[in-house]
Structure 1
Amino acid sequence: MICPFCRHDDSRVVDSRPVEEGTQIRRRRECPECGQRFSTQEVALLNIIKRSGATEPFSRAKVLVGVRKACQGRPVDEDDLVLLAQRVEETLRATGQAEIEAQEVGMAILAPLRELDEVAYLRYASVYRNFTSLEDFEGEIALLRALPSSANSSSTATPSTSKETSNSPITREVKSTEKVDSNSAMQKITSKN
């Protein structure tokens, strides 16, 4: 690494430590030319592929902005939102992929948001899944009622009524862990898909 003081093109690592709960490594370096010490941080990049095809780095701040809008006027602490954004990032990083579709970010947000606040979940899902009618809301509410209550639930399954056929680990996990009663509301939703 180039020394920021004398621009010498080499430095040696004096110390390395994990920071930010192991998601980053802080390295203390020393320049053999001028003897100055400096710190660097190493982070594994996680890029999001937008619908347009452009890529951008994952941003917890963007997750927070979207979730804050859904939680507006709801009894949800800022700390809970920060924790939700952290869970979303951990879920995405756990896939082991360096690039993730934007759609998968939305899927990763839905499960912890449902556990946090069902009304906020419904608001977010209505935008994310592009609800166009009252029936879309009724169907999602029927799914929420069929699932265990968020207060008693330890599951991170998210009800999915969309026509997604992605092969990503997040989508596969959601589809394989869905447990929904086969009542008339479910039959109505299934017939729509």
Structure 2
Amino acid sequence: MKSIFNARDFAVTQASVAALLFLSIPLFNVIGFSNHKLEAVLHGLGATITVIMSCQVLHLTYPMLRGKKGAAITLEWVLWLTNILVLITIIFGNWLYIAYRGPDGPQQWLMYRSPEVHLIVMEFKEFVSLYPLPLGIAAAVLLRRFRHKLEPGSAVSGIIALLITLFWICLLIGFACGLGLTKLKMV
């Protein structure tokens, strides 16, 4: 007897539910007390979508490494799209950073109560969160230049995979630290 659901149906359902719940995280800022809700929601949604897309980019790296036909072209397209999302998220983050550094803002609250948290979490997060853009662009440029000449196990495909892995790790570190910061008392 044939099942009415196949493995693909379950995988798509699981991914859809996970994405919906994941995307709802920034929307909790709407409930919070802040004068900068719009900036926070836009930055949070941008960061969440960017992390989801970066996971897809990392997933698409494996077929490229195996030399699957057309994998490099698909990877390049998704990588450029993710790079655009990274840039937009950085812009929204800088917009939110103005309020963070403002008078009587969260930075002053953190510096007064726990300067170590500010120095370790916030400053580290801000620097690490900027690395994905050059890493992603470098990987995309290499893919554009060598996508038709990539061989399984070649040095270029290994360098591209390394750049994409670092891209993904930096995005996850920035996202995790950002989520941690939102849990602290912010003005």
Flag the structure with more relative contact order, 1 or 2, with Cα contacts below 8 A and sequence separation at least 6.
2
Which structure's CA Rg is the greater one?
1
Write 1 or 2 for the structure with the bigger share of strand.
1
Write 1 or 2 for the structure with the bigger share of helix.
2
TM over 0.5: no
